[in-house]
Amino acid sequence: MGKYWVYYARNSTFHELDTPKTNEDFTKLDYTFIQYVEAENLEQVFVKMQGDNWSPHGEARELTKALSLHTSMSILDVAKDENGALWMVASEGFTNLPFKIHNLFSL
């Protein structure tokens, strides 16, 4: 099982086609840590982070409302693996971001 930290985008100023290519671009996005997930791969992280799976009875409603977030993992959200690599949700699968930001997303 791999370890992943899931962050949801709050203030998305980029469109999916404008995937950030530098640390500066990436830090313009506002991310909020949602939860730690153990999964076999990124696709399993995505499935586990769908609202019907991690909040089947609306348990996360108050949290997501208070933080102005969405419930299900979607485009521009990020999973950070245990090696510090950042994986952004794309329209199909995940895009590996070409940088690591340890000070923004601490393990």
Domain ranges of the chain: 2-96
Q: Cβ-count burial of 78 within 10 angstroms (0-12 exposed, 13-18 middle, 19+ buried)?
A: buried
> In which band, very low, low, confident or very high, does the pLDDT at 18 lie, cut at 50, 70 and 90?
low
Residues 70-104: tens digit of each pLDDT:
788 988 899 999 988 889 998 889 999 877 655 44
Do the Cβ atoms of 15 and 48 come closer than 8 Å? no
Asked if pLDDT for residue 46 goes beyond 90, the answer is yes
pTM across the whole model? 0.77
